[in-house]
């Protein structure tokens, strides 16, 4: 206590550049040790919860390690008058980052890009014909960005859609795989993402075994892509099961 | 854009399943490609590519700038695509913005690869002049003048041609002055190629026109480099795909891209030779 | 700075009354109803015309004449320094308005009620005189689209530097800060539809400069007519006439 009252006490300010050690150049044949001690093919533990936002038609909160996302779904609501009649429903997605989401304040990745990617990922899973003339709005807010943002956003969004009672063909689960040297890491954190040589993200509907979206960056040979896809699809099916159990809990919970 | 009648739609789908498209091509044939380089004298490098009716212009401008503090020994590349309303009346004002951002981000993914720069089409460290202080900023601008489907491929080819046409002055840093010469610098290290496969019904076609694009259920855009490795992949379109279909599309794309790379290279070389002849005259 | 040297040559070697080289091509954007490329020296412009077609905004529809809309945009790489925002800035909006008013004067809009004609002009390279090049390109594109007009509109600019009237200024001469007169005329009817000027001029000098610009316009008009004639001959031969 005495120490605190002295005005000349040095204030503690986390300096990012000091903490980040200069990684030695990655030798391609070395084994990558993951910062959080997971195995190469191990996903982060997932925490999923529905009903986070009371005023929305449906909402969900997801926490995958350090990545925390909250998604709220509004709808089906009346389409704006400017839009013409269509006998299939419309989906409108918006992804935004809070200012404190990234380690350096205010530096956000391309949120506009993510909105359109989220739209494409969810479009194939929603039964749009079930709500003609109306729009469903999906708003995603990233509270903390700890790597692998878009997969978490997509999975959380499909959970929120299910919570809102919108008809879906199947739950949408999404996982990304990172390639560092010769290692394939599943579900990378932001540190691993900054070193990655390539990334592969798959969004799929596990029980139907159908892919709604796939993005690949970096250099991949066909065998690697095969391997990566298999890993992702496996992980997606497991994630799908977790999402279903979460929904079941939420449905049976209030009845007790 | 006038919609297609039911009869026209059936005609397109039927034709594709019989390996005969509306303009007489086979399913995996590309339209004739026409490349012209050096059309914008004020830019460091430029090219114009015509893929049938689709017409795009790409220009590369190199400016001196400061490198990103997290990557002090790498230059910067920024890609921006603008859709001119001459291509589509709906691109007027802000109408074309969504499409432009989609194209820009797709091209950025393929050209710049992963965050650490591996697998990129451009070797960013070759753009560095003085580590941490001065580097080249490449501004790649694309302009879609006329669009009839498959704009992404045309843009990819145009950027590739523009980069091979780019001449960046050699900078020698002596105290505070910099002098320049004008050698022709080939910036692109690993050639890359944008490629688009669309799925109509159960068949795959390459290089779709606008009418075919309106009928396709989903599309996969691939970027493949010379070694046959995939540098970028994006699935566009809303419909769902079986995972085996994606692998199928990838192999089809690889097969067609080899031919396309050869064709493009010969076209670019021809265009450059034409250019050089003009300059010598 | 000397814009006209003592021998009477300008910075790019032209004489004061000499225009830059013109080149025009019709039908470059096959998707559009009419299109054209127009080059004046280093200034290169593409114009595309879509119409007449159904009005998109019902509130603006008019029952007795067609709606003419125009948009002017410059490419990022068109000027020496890369432009950040290609559309929507004040200069583009002003030029869009100017082109629209000029073309509206010559199109026989009463023949196409309840419809809309879109003129899109894209500048690929800017080296002074973009306004004039745009109007000339738009005229060709409208002719290619088969839209009825009372006469073609041609435009040219002229300036006054170092005591001499100069025809068809390029970017360097334009940015010298001297007066710049842009004139758009209907050549056959001998009427002026566009007259703009920057800076200031004495009355007599102004008349001289404007006369010079009108001469330039007439020269452009004869070239445009040649191009259109050539195009029609080609169309005829394709039809087998």
B63 contacts in C (CB within 8 Å)? 82
Chain B positions touching chain C (beta carbons under 8 Å): 40-43, 46, 53, 55, 57, 59, 61, 63, 80, 82, 84-89, 92-94, 139, 141, 143, 145-148
B116 contacts in A (CB within 8 Å)? 194-197
In 3D space, the residue among B91, B165, B77, B184 whose CA is nearest the CA of residue B125 turns out to be B77
The structure tokens 């159990």 sit at A245
Q: What is the mean pLDDT of each run of 10 residues along chain A (256 residues)?
A: 43 47 48 77 88 90 92 87 76 89 72 83 88 90 88 93 91 90 84 82 88 85 86 90 90 71
CB contact under 8 A, A116 and B243: no
Alpha helices, DSSP H, located in B216-242: none
Best to test chain B binding among C72, C76, C89, C134 (most B CBs inside 10 Å) = C76
Alpha helices, DSSP H, located in chain B: 6-17, 97-112, 151-165, 210-215, 243-280
Among C31, C48, C73, beta carbon nearest to B53: C31
Report how far residue C150's alpha carbon sits from residue C186's, in angstroms, rounded to the nearest whole number: 9
Determine the straight-line distance between the first and last CA of chain B, rounded to whole angstroms.
45
C43 touches chain B (CB under 8 A): no
Task: Return all residues near A30 (Cβ < 8 A) that are at least 6 apart.
Answer: A181
Chain B positions touching chain A (beta carbons under 8 Å): 98, 101-102, 105, 109-110, 113-116, 118-119, 220, 225, 228-243, 246-247, 250-251, 254
Nearest CA in chain B to A232: B243
Nearest CA in chain B to A122: B238
- Taking phi over 0 as left and psi of -120 to 50 as alpha, with beta for the rest, B278 belongs to alpha
A19 touches chain B (CB under 8 A): no
SS3 content of chain B, % helix, strand, coil (to 5): 35, 30, 35
Give pLDDT, residue B188.
45
> pTM of the full predicted structure?
0.81
Among C32, C75, C125, beta carbon nearest to B82: C75
Residues forming beta bridges with residue A94, ordered by sequence position: A139
CB contact under 8 A, A214 and B98: no
Do C and A touch, counting CB pairs below 8 Å (3 needed)? no
Best to test chain B binding among A217, A222, A232, A236 (most B CBs inside 10 Å) = A217
CB contact under 8 A, B139 and C82: yes
C155 touches chain B (CB under 8 A): no
The H or E element spanning position A76 is: strand A67-78
Give pLDDT, residue B280.
56
Give pLDDT, residue C237.
93
Residues forming beta bridges with residue C23, ordered by sequence position: C39
Contact A208, A125 (CB under 8 A): no
Contact A217, A199 (CB under 8 A): yes
CB contact under 8 A, A214 and B220: yes
Rounded to 10 degrees, what is the CA torsion of B79, B80, B84, B87? 40
Half-sphere exposure (CA, 13 Å, Cβ side) for B118?
Answer: 20
Report how far residue A247's alpha carbon sits from residue A171's, in angstroms, rounded to the nearest whole number: 11
Task: Give the SS3 label for residue A148.
Answer: coil
The neighbours of chain A, by the rule of 3 or more Cβ pairs under 8 Å, are B
Report how far residue B214's alpha carbon sits from residue A254's, in angstroms, rounded to the nearest whole number: 47
Minimum distance, in Å, between the CA of residue B59 and any CA atom of chain A: 23
- In the numeric block, which tokens belong to residue A27? 């030798």
Task: Return all residues near B70 (Cβ < 8 A) that are at least 6 apart.
Answer: none
Contact C22, C39 (CB under 8 A): yes
C89 touches chain B (CB under 8 A): no
CB contact under 8 A, B241 and A211: yes
Report how far residue C208's alpha carbon sits from residue C183's, in angstroms, rounded to the nearest whole number: 13
Report how far residue B35's alpha carbon sits from residue B5's, in angstroms, rounded to the nearest whole number: 34
CB contact under 8 A, C88 and B93: yes
Report how far residue C161's alpha carbon sits from residue A55's, in angstroms, rounded to the nearest whole number: 69
Contact B241, B202 (CB under 8 A): no
C27 touches chain B (CB under 8 A): no
- Residues in chain C with pLDDT values less than 70: 83-87, 241
Minimum distance, in Å, between the CA of residue A29 and any CA atom of chain B: 16
CB contact under 8 A, A217 and B118: no
Q: What is the mean pLDDT of each run of 10 residues along chain B (281 residues)?
A: 79 86 84 87 87 90 80 80 87 82 82 59 71 81 88 86 79 51 40 54 76 78 74 75 79 79 82 70 47
- In the numeric block, which tokens belong to residue C189? 């009817």
CB contact under 8 A, A123 and B238: yes
Task: Return all residues near C88 (Cβ < 8 A) that are at least 6 apart.
Answer: B93, B94
Task: Return all residues near C68 (Cβ < 8 A) that are at least 6 apart.
Answer: C100, C103, C104, C107, C109, C116, C117, C119
Strands B128-130, B76-83: pairing is: unpaired
Minimum distance, in Å, between the CA of residue B258 and any CA atom of chain A: 15
Secondary structure of chain C in the HEC alphabet? Answer: CCCECCCCCECCCCCCCCCCCEEEEECCCCCCCEEEEEEECCEEEEEEEEEEEECCCHHHCCCCCCEEEEEEEECCCCCCCCCCCCCCCHHHHHHHHHHHHHHHHHECHHHCCCEEEEEEEEEEECCCCHHHHHHHHHHHHHHHHCCCECCCCEEEEEEEECCEEEECCCHHHHCCCCCEEEEEEECCCCEEEEEEEECCCCHHHHHHHHHHHHHHHHHHHHHHHHHHHHHHHHHHHHHCC
How do residues B143-162 score in pLDDT, each as one tens digit?
999 988 888 888 888 888 88
């Amino acid at each position: 206590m005495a120490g605190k009252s002295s005005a000349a006490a040095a204030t503690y300010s986390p300096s990012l550049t000091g903490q980040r050690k200069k990684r030695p150049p990655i030798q391609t044949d070395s084994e990558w040790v993951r910062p959080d001690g997971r195995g190469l093919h191990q996903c982060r533990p997932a925490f999923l919860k529905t009903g986070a936002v009371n005023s929305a038609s449906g909402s969900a909160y997801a926490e995958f390690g350090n990545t925390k996302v909250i998604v709220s779904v509004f709808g089906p609501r009346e389409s704006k008058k400017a839009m013409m009649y269509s006998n299939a429903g419309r989906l409108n997605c918006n992804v935004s980052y809070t200012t404190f989401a990234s380690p350096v304040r205010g530096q956000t990745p391309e949120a506009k890009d993510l909105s359109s990617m989220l739209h494409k990922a969810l479009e194939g899973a929603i039964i749009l014909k079930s709500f003609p003339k109306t729009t469903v709005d999906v708003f995603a807010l990233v509270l903390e960005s700890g790597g692998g943002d878009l997969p978490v956003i997509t999975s959380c969004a499909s959970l929120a859609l299910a919570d809102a009672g919108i008809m879906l063909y199947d739950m949408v689960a999404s996982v990304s795989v990172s390639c560092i040297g010769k290692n394939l890491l599943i579900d990378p954190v932001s540190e691993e993402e900054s070193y990655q040589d390539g990334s592969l993200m798959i969004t799929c509907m596990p029980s139907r075994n159908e892919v709604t979206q796939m993005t690949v960056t970096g250099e991949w040979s066909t065998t690697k892509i095969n391997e990566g896809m298999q890993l992702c699809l496996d992980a997606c099916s497991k994630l799908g099961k977790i999402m279903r159990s979460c929904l079941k809990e939420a449905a049976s919970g209030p009845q007790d | 854009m006038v919609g297609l009648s039911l009869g026209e739609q059936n005609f397109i789908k039927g034709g594709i399943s019989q390996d005969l498209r509306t303009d007489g091509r086979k399913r995996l044939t590309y339209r004739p490609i026409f490349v012209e380089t050096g059309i914008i004298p004020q830019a460091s490098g430029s090219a114009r590519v015509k893929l049938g009716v689709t017409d795009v212009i790409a220009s590369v401008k190199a400016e001196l700038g400061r490198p990103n503090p997290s990557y002090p020994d790498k230059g910067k590349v920024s890609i921006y695509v603008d859709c001119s309303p001459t291509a589509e009346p709906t691109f007027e004002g802000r109408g074309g913005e969504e499409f432009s951002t989609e194209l820009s981000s797709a091209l950025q993914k393929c050209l710049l690869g992963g965050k650490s720069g591996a697998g990129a089409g451009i070797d960013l460290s070759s753009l560095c002049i003085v580590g941490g202080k001065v580097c080249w900023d490449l501004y790649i601008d694309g302009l879609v003048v006329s669009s009839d489907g498959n704009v992404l491929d045309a843009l990819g080819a145009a950027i590739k041609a523009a980069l091979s046409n780019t001449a960046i002055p050699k900078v020698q840093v002596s105290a505070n002055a910099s002098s320049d010469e004008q050698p022709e610098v080939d910036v692109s290290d690993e050639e890359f190629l944008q490629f688009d496969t669309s799925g109509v019904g159960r068949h795959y076609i390459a290089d779709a026109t606008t009418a075919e694009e309106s009928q396709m259920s989903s599309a996969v855009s691939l970027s493949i480099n010379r070694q046959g490795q995939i540098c970028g992949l994006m699935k566009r379109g809303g419909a769902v795909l079986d995972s085996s279909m994606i692998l199928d599309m990838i192999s089809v794309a690889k097969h067609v891209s080899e031919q396309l790379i050869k064709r493009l290279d010969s076209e670019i070389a021809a265009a450059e030779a034409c250019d050089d002849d003009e300059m010598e005259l | 700075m000397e814009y006209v040297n003592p021998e009477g040559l300008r910075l790019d070697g032209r004489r004061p009354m000499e225009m830059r080289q013109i080149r025009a091509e019709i039908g470059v954007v096959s998707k559009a109803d009419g299109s054209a490329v127009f080059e004046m020296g280093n200034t290169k412009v593409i114009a595309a015309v879509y119409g007449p077609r159904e009005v998109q905004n019902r509130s603006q529809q008019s029952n007795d004449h067609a709606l003419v809309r125009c948009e002017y945009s410059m490419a990022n790489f068109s000027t020496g320094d890369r432009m950040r925002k290609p559309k929507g800035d004040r200069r583009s909006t002003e030029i869009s308005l100017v082109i629209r008013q000029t073309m509206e004067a010559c199109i026989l809009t009463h023949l196409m009620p309840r419809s809309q004609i879109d003129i899109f002009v894209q500048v690929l390279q800017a080296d002074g005189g973009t306004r004039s090049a745009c109007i000339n390109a738009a005229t060709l594109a409208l002719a290619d689209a088969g839209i009825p007009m009372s006469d073609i509109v041609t435009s040219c600019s002229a300036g006054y530097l170092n005591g001499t009237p100069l025809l068809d200024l390029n970017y360097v001469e334009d940015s010298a800060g001297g007066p710049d007169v842009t004139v758009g005329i209907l050549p056959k009817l001998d009427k002026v539809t566009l007259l703009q000027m920057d800076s200031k001029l004495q009355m007599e000098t102004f008349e001289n400069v404007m006369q010079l610009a009108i001469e330039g316009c007439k020269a452009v008009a004869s070239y445009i007519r040649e191009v259109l004639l050539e195009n029609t001959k080609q169309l005829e031969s394709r039809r087998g006439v």
